[in-house]
Structure 1
Amino acid sequence: MSEDIKQAHKDYHVCIIRGEKLKDSECVRLFDDPLYIFDSEPFPTSQVKERPLISFKSDDSMHELVEHWLYHHSDTIKPLKTITVDQIETCKQFMKQGIGMAVLPESVSDSMKSEYANLPLMIGDKPVTRPTWVCYQKGVLDLPQANEFIKLLTSETF
């Protein structure tokens, strides 16, 4: 998980992390991953949706994004309880089985957007996204293999 990598980042030449970037490293933003809330049941337009929310073990920044969005949408979506699972895939499967709603990054939602009810997480007209970063210490660019890897990552469009 990104939090584990962040705590031990000095043990790595290059880190790819999600959420907040490392404060004492060079970091390049690779992409922003929009978040969506999915459910096996439709999202009503005229009443509050009350369902369990399934979340997966993630770093605090992911949970803060979801909590912030839920706060701003408490008039339309109200989780009855939260079920926390260890893996994102378990979270997806629980949602698919009708156990509750799940907030997932677009990058892992595969074809789910066409198969399940979903809403993009928005606050106002701004999408709620989760950034992905490549981070490294300045001296790492002196290592040819690390320098080429970073160049490759930063030249790609994700």
Structure 2
Amino acid sequence: MDYKDWNMLSILYEEKNITKTAEKLFVSQPSLSYRLKNLEEEIGADLIIKTRSGIEFTAEGEYLVDYAREMLKEFMIMKDNINNMEDEIAGTLKIGVSSNFAQYVLPDLLKSFSLKYPKVRFNVTTGWSSIIYNALSKGNIHLGILRTDYPGHKHKVLLNKEPIYIVSQEKLDLKNLPGYKQIQYSTDTSLKTIIQRWWAETYSTPATIEMEVDRLETSKELVKRGLGYTIVPAICLKEEDRLHKETVLDSEDTPITRDTWLMYNADFEHLAIVEKFLEHIQSWGNINH
């Protein structure tokens, strides 16, 4: 077995589908099936069982996937250690980032880091926090920037607590907010839960949902045209938006916030490239953008 086999098994286990795995690996389906068959012959055991919905791994296959993931971690550590044997920091930083943070903050953050360490390359995955945490747990990334806490994860740093705002074209009477037209957007479960919990504690009637869109930025543009209001975290607001905003407060008039966490994989904690990024993001000072 080699790196290609480890990587193939790891991706195949996530996808549970030969075709999708082949697409991710940029190989043909017959080529992937042939490599898998050769691996089964080499190991001397069936690794997968084909089903109507895709594939399932045998007990031997599950064991081999665990082995493959451990070998991928060791391979990543070995590469980074070799890259950093010289004084200059180099190598590839694998980072997963929550979508909103990726859109509004990440470009400037990575630019500032690359100016300090020009030989560092980035492998970036973006998505909802649950997806990023899943990648972090599997060891597919060095660290993740998430918009919710995972209490069971010990290796983490709280980067900031940002307020949540009700934004509209003109000032609204918040006591009568349920009567105004709200524009909802798709977001991860954590933010949705924060907003829903606040609404249930503040109002006895449901919101008047005028529109449901797939992106936060779309909801902002609709608000700018006076078509309703929306509720968003501070990270997405800029001076040039020129929107009226009201801080979302709890029953004790304390701002309700959304946290941003930096979480890292303990296996990679002492890699020079990871240590330098941890130092940089905590001293950068522009997380609130």
Question: Is 1:149–2:273 an aligned residue pair?
Answer: no
For 1:111, which of 215, 239, 258 is the aligned residue? 239
The residue type equivalent to 1:138 in the other structure is: A
* Residue of structure 1 aligned with 2:152, choices 17, 23, 26: 23
Contact 1:25/1:137 (CA < 8 Å) preserved in 2?
no
Q: Which one has a larger percent strand, Structure 1 or Structure 2?
A: 1
Give distance in 1, aligned partners of 2:194 and 2:164. 9
* TM-score, normalisation: structure 2: 0.49
Secondary structure of the residue aligned to 2:158 is: strand
C-alpha distance in structure 1 between counterparts of 2:171 and 2:159, whole Å = 33
Distance apart, 1:119 and its partner CA: 1.1
User: Do structure 1's residue 8 and structure 2's residue 135 form an aligned pair?
Assistant: yes
Does the CA contact (< 8 Å) of 2:210 and 2:228 recur in 1? no
CA distance in 2 between partners of 1:55 and 1:22 (Å): 28
Structural mapping, 1:70-81, within 5 Å: 70-74=199-203, 79-81=207-209
Q: Which structure: larger Rg?
A: 2
Larger proportion of helix: 2
Across the two proteins, how many residue pairs are aligned to each other?
A: 155
Given that 1:43 and 1:118 are in contact with CA atoms closer than 8 Å, whether structure 2 keeps it comes out as no
Aligned amino acid, residue 64 of structure 1: T
| Other structure's SS at 1:83 match | strand
CA distance in 2, matches of 1:126, 1:4: 30
Counterpart of 1:125 in structure 2 is 253
* 1:16-95 correspondence to structure 2 within 5 Å: 16-21=145-150, 23-44=152-173, 48-49=176-177, 50-74=179-203, 79-81=207-209, 83-95=211-223
Contact 2:163-2:247 at 8 Å conserved across structures: yes
* SS of residue in 2 equivalent to 1:146: helix
- Residues 122-131 or 50-59, more deviating: 50-59
Query: Residue deviations 1:78-105, cap 9 Å, x none?
Result: 5212633222211111111222111111
Structure 2 gap segments, 5+ residues each: 1-127
After superposing the two structures, state which structure 1 stretch, 145-154 or 36-45, moved more: 36-45
Question: What is the distance in 1 between the residues matched to 2:149 and 2:230?
Answer: 22
Give the letter for the 1:63 counterpart: K
- What percent identity do the matched residue pairs reach? 23
How far off is 1:22 after superposition? Answer: 6.0
User: Secondary structure of 1:72's match?
Assistant: helix
Cα distance in 1 between the residues matched to 2:254 and 2:244: 20
Q: Separation in 2 of the partners of 1:152 and 1:22?
A: 24
What TM-score does the superposition give when structure 1 sets the normalisation length? Answer: 0.86
Larger RCO (CA within 8 A; separation ≥ 6): 1
Structure 1, residues 53-89: CA drift from partner, whole Å, max 9, x if none? 22222111101111112122216x8521263322221
CA RMSD after TM alignment: 2.2
Alpha-carbon distance in 1 for matches of 2:199, 2:257: 14
Q: Which runs of 5+ in 1 are unaligned?
A: none
Q: Is the 8 A contact 1:39 1:116 kept in 2?
A: yes
